[in-house]
Structure 1
């Protein structure tokens, strides 16, 4: 496998015989059982998630949906009504992302236990920008743990707090 090569679905020429490609991928998947040295090149764990806000007309509860792939093989999936009513589309998407992340953590642990530790982060795809931003926002960190001075100051600045004593001293 070429180092640092990034393959994109929208680039390159289409295969003349997709069946041959699928047979090759299936053969590589089979080989990983007896050839763990090629596992990294063949098996990349990827997750996808989505939600349908207030999808149940009766309860107004959202529907969570996610699927996990190991290489090209679908290995885990879920489609289930959420346990609580979400107040927004963003909240329902965030709940779906949380559920999918729990599955990723479990799958990574399982793969590690059977001898295939995942050395790189698992690609995880979601389509709700607001929910992604909430998941990536560490602002609440300042309320939950001790932080080093630079991180603490960074969080204080993010919260747009200011030192009143400095303000009155002209600073």
Structure 2
């Protein structure tokens, strides 16, 4: 990201572009801001607040990427990690590995997230099955699954909002 092309605006949280920027630079800037919003210590009071940032980070992949936001007991971000990569329409998810990462981070809660390269964020039956398996595995070690968010170019779907959790 080229910070020389940005300067702080007059209002907090606003910026001025000081030079010509390419589309690629704009996307890079957006992704850098999204990563900052999911950085260690940031509090996520509602998973839906993370939708916009997650969509910016995951919508352009041409393959499925399964990630997790590990949270402490106050729902502050410990880590946002890409856990598994797949093909254009699926990814192999291993509950054991998700549990290992949750324990390694001493997480109290997790928000699961993956993209659908097709662009359609509607959860599939396979998405619902793996979420249930992950929820059961994480429950054993007392890690709550707050949500599973599916990202597509057409928007985001929340398992919690859909009543799947």
Q: TM-score, normalization: structure 1?
A: 0.29
Greater fraction helix = 1
Q: Which has the larger radius of gyration?
A: 1
Greater fraction strand = 2
Structure number with higher relative contact order (C-alpha < 8 Å, ≥ 6 residues apart): 2
